[in-house]
Amino acid sequence: MKKRMNMARRRMNHVINELNHALFLSGCQEISLRLLREEGGLRLIIQASFAPESAHAMERTAALLQPAVRNPALVETYWELAGEDQYTSDSEMALVGQMLDTAEVLLDGNDVRMDLYISF
């Protein structure tokens, strides 16, 4: 169990880093993060407002974070290898989406709210 908790923490750190980067690129001036340790995993709640011209990019991010099928084997193999120099931001965000056990992304105008979960 301790090894799974450590891996969940490492994954969540990666998720936070990538989403902060993507949100700031989308013109966010302020990002609110709330990280909760729950009984079975870690929950990250993000709220932010993005620039109107970034609406399409945020819609794409929302889709990538909520894939129809999650492939845990893909994550185990590739998540530490992905980097900005090697991959497009879409492929990195797609990998982040695969790392999550559940994701709910709500877009309301220029506001975004994400509820992301990684289990132990």
Mean pLDDT by 10 residues, the chain (120 residues): 89 94 93 97 97 94 91 66 52 86 96 97
Helix or strand run (H / E) with residue 97: helix 89-99
Q: How many CB atoms lie within 10 A of CB 37?
A: 13
How many beta carbons lie within 10 A of that of residue 85, not counting itself? 4
Q: By C-alpha distance, which of 85, 31, 91, 87 is closest to 61?
A: 91
Q: Is the dihedral of CA 86, 92, 95, 96 positive or negative?
A: positive
Q: Which amino acid would we find at residue 15?
A: V
pTM score of the predicted model: 0.85
